[in-house]
Amino acid sequence: MQQATRISGVGAYLPERRLTNADLAQMVETSDDWIVERSGIRERRIAADNESSSTMGAEAARRALTSAALEPADIDIVIAGTCTPDGMFPATATRIQDALGISDAAAFDVNAACTGFLVALSTASQFVESGNAHRALVVGTETLSRIVDWTDRATCVLFGDGAGAVVVEAAPDGRPGAVKSFLLRSDGSHAGLLYAHGPASPNPNGDPLQALIVMDGRNIFRQAVTAMSGAARQAITDAGITIDDIALCIPHQANLRILKATARNVGLPEERVYVNLDRYGNTSSATIPIALTEAATEGRLSPGDHVLLVAFGGGLSWGAMVMEWSGIDTLGRAATADLRSTAASS
């Protein structure tokens, strides 16, 4: 039996350590002006030694549960979007599940790089819509600082660490359903434009493989703008609305020039595009849930608003979703808690 869904809780966590552009200028040949001009980023957060994607994800998830006024036992499925898991296996979602004390629930990861949260949210929504789950916990969490090449000024300035989470559940009778449309796409022929090796990567020459981010920035920029613009337009059309109906766009926070070019292509005024890239950098699958939490907490979203989510990442992967915001009954500062906490020690 199909049932409408809604997002009933949001939460975000970012580690306490700030790495500013001035700090980076002491590490590689760069400057604040150079970084801001090319990316729009001014600082990013870096996980402590005792933090990981699972500890940060668990803290964001705790805040989302508090926001939704739910207990861990209320959750039927945990899905984590991440490309920086704690290890090859078990899934980071299972570690989050254990940290929260959630038992007798399904838990698994999805890896679609920066599109990971959209894939996880789309998957969770379909579980709930079909009646195969009552409530789902969806987490986007990344520890990208551990796979960044800190000698490469073209990439090390872009990435940061953090986590965001949402609770998806069946909408009460009379409330609008959240997901109006979604689009997910990938093109593996361009995988070489953005990737990181891993411990199981092919290695015919027996040379040491560094599990570090490799990116062709120029080509990624072109691909990202084209893909995100097309996905956004298609999702809006599929939802049966127009660009004028979009109250707020929450895009993947990769590069300010990409965000501006995409908004211009779609015909969306910049004031209706949420940006926190300057404070956190690119946290991959965590960028959208962190931004969604901030936007909700700041009062940028009202019940009935149409919200556009759009992302692009390695794969190459991309996607978009249109939601109708139904509001969160118990939303408060606990969702963000100034976006700091002792996640690793909790």
Can you tell me which residue has the tokens 């036992």? 73
- Residue 189 is classified by DSSP as G
| Dist. CA 333–CA 168, nearest whole Å | 20
Catalytic, out of 83, 252, 255, 306: 252
Catalytic residue flag (residue 197): no
- The residues pairing with 195 across neighbouring beta strands, listed in sequence order, are 214
What the block records as the tokens of 24 is 């980076």
Catalytic residue flag (residue 252): yes
Bond into 316 cis (ω within 30): yes
What the block records as the tokens of 20 is 């500013």
Catalytic, out of 21, 83, 111, 114: 114
How deeply is 320 buried, as exposed, middle or buried, from its count of CB atoms within 10 A (0-12, 13-18, 19+)? buried
321: nearest Cα among 125, 167, 173, 78: 125
Q: Which residues contact 245 (CB under 8 A, 6 or more apart)?
A: 236, 306
| Dist. CA 119–CA 304, nearest whole Å | 23
| Dist. CA 106–CA 125, nearest whole Å | 14
Phi, psi of 316 (to 5 degrees): -65, 145
Catalytic residue flag (residue 282): yes
What the block records as the tokens of 301 is 């979203």
Radius of gyration of the chain (CA): 19
- The residues pairing with 170 across neighbouring beta strands, listed in sequence order, are 5
Bond into 90 cis (ω within 30): yes
Give catalytic residues, as residue numbers: 114, 252, 282
